């Protein structure tokens, strides 16, 4: 028995030694559902032929003054661990790490990028490619109008004031304060303080909004400038909103959260990055792999929230939707 265990241990060690090493540098942290999802997709698609480790910059919970220091620590890990591949998750990590990337750096594959690649200085770098993230804005709004009866004509999108939110707003609104979509005037607010967030939710009905789309809410702080737990923000919002809540991202959908909608999710982006790594491993140059927009998303709804708001999905939507609970 001991001999069998020894042989098994040696086999595992031998296999691990021959595996390629992938370092994931997260803008956020592995407990954040978006990160957990794309890490899951990445690892499952790569399989055991790759060792995946990660570094958390945690920029949704630390002040911006610490971002550069965390980026420096991440790059120090690159220099000491010498990974075969570097995966950069989301805008903050790419923004602060892009200046450090040279053509001698191991292949870099990004994901979850809302901003323009031109702004980050990676266009033209031969060893960089990845996945862009674009909220499914117009399609989401049009889908919501088919669910809601007796629309008054106004919708609000709420974001926190983090980097990803700013880039998402820029890509959606393109310097406009409002947009006209499917007969609705759609506006947005970026809010960094929990008291302002609560005031906006409490007054949404009086302000004439038919519904609110919850974008991102993970960087909100209290009056003492301390980070407010994101789950608490969403739970309070769900309980107190007098107008229906929908979501752009899968992590905001569920009982005690939002009703749902046409959402983005992280697993598919992790899968896509893994496929890019495999192509590079097979001899393809990152320069020959064009950055891709993330997959089109899927309809995801909470049965509990649909029931609570007494909504029914149109037949064509109901057939293709995925349901939680």
Q: Model confidence over 2-16: pLDDT tens digits?
A: 444 443 343 344 344
Residues 170 and 147 in one domain: yes
At 102, give phi and psi (nearest 5°): -120, 175
Residues 228 and 158 in one domain: yes
Supply the mean pLDDT for the chain.
92
Residues 176 and 311 in one domain: yes
The number of beta carbons lying within 10 Å of the beta carbon of residue 207 is 11
Residues 257 and 270 in one domain: no
Residues 8 and 113 in one domain: yes
The number of folded domains in the chain is: 2
Residues 143 and 229 in one domain: yes
How distant, in Å, are the alpha carbons of 101, 122, 173, 179 from that of 116?
17, 10, 14, 21
Lowest mean pLDDT among 62-71, 290-299, 309-318: 290-299
Instruction: State residue 297's pLDDT score.
Output: 83
Give the CATH number of the domain where residue 47 resides: 3.40.50.2300
Higher local confidence (pLDDT), 85 or 297:
85
Lowest mean pLDDT among 171-175, 186-190, 240-244: 171-175
Q: Which residue has the tokens 């979509």?
A: 181
What is the span of the domain harbouring residue 216? 137-263+299-324
> Is the pLDDT reported for residue 45 higher than 60?
yes
**Cα–Cα distance measured from residue 58 to residue 92, given in angstroms and rounded to the nearest whole number:** 10
Residues 126 and 272 in one domain: yes
Please give the full DSSP string across 161-230, using - where no structure is assigned: SSHHHHHHHHHHHTT-SEEEETTEEEEEEE--BHHHHHHHHHHTTTTT-SEEEE---TT-B-TTSPBPPH
Residues 124 and 159 in one domain: no
What are the pLDDT digits (tens) for 273-301?
Answer: 999 999 999 999 999 999 988 877 899 99
Strand partners, 322: 300
Distance, first Cα to last Cα, the chain: 45
What are the pLDDT digits (tens) for 128-167?
Answer: 999 998 777 888 888 899 999 888 899 999 999 999 999 9
Residues 87 and 168 in one domain: no
Residues 168 and 305 in one domain: yes
**Cα–Cα distance measured from residue 138 to residue 97, given in angstroms and rounded to the nearest whole number:** 32
What are the pLDDT digits (tens) for 25-39?
Answer: 999 999 999 999 999
Share of the chain above pLDDT 90, in %: 79
Instruction: State residue 17's pLDDT score.
Output: 56
Angle at 242 between CA 239 and CA 248, to 5 degrees: 75
Residues 210 and 319 in one domain: yes
Residues 142 and 284 in one domain: no
């Amino acid at each position: 028995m001991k001999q069998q265990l020894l042989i098994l241990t040696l086999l595992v060690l031998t296999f691990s030694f021959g595996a390629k090493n992938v370092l994931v540098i997260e803008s956020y942290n592995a407990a954040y559902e978006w990160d957990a999802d794309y890490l899951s997709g990445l690892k499952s698609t790569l399989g055991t032929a790759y060792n995946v480790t990660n570094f958390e910059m945690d920029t949704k919970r630390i002040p911006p003054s610490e971002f550069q220091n965390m980026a420096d620590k991440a790059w120090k890990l690159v220099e000491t661990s010498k990974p075969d591949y570097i995966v950069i998750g989301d805008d903050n990590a790419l923004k602060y790490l892009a200046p450090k990337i040279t053509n001698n750096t191991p292949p870099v594959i990004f994901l979850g990028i809302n901003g323009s690649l031109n702004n980050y200085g990676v266009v033209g770098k031969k060893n960089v490619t990845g996945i862009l993230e674009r909220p499914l804005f117009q399609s989401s709004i049009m889908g919501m109008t088919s669910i809601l009866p007796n629309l008054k004509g106004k919708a609000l999108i709420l974001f926190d004031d983090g980097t990803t939110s700013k880039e998402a707003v820029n890509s959606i609104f393109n310097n406009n304060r409002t947009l006209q979509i499917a007969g609705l005037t759609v506006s947005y607010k970026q809010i960094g303080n929990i008291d302002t967030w609560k005031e906006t939710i409490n007054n949404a009905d009086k302000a004439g909004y038919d519904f609110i789309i919850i974008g991102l809410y993970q960087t909100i702080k209290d009056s003492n400038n301390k980070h407010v737990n994101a789950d608490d923000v969403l739970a309070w919002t769900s309980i107190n909103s007098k107008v229906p809540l929908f979501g752009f991202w899968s992590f905001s959908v569920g009982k005690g959260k939002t009703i749902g909608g046409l959402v983005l999710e992280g697993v598919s982006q992790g899968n896509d990055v893994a496929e890019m790594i495999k192509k590079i491993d097979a001899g393809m140059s990152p320069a020959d792999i064009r950055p891709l927009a993330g997959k089109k998303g899927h309809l995801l709804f909470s049965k509990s929230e649909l029931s609570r708001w007494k909504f029914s999905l149109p037949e064509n939507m109901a057939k293709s939707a995925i349901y939680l609970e």
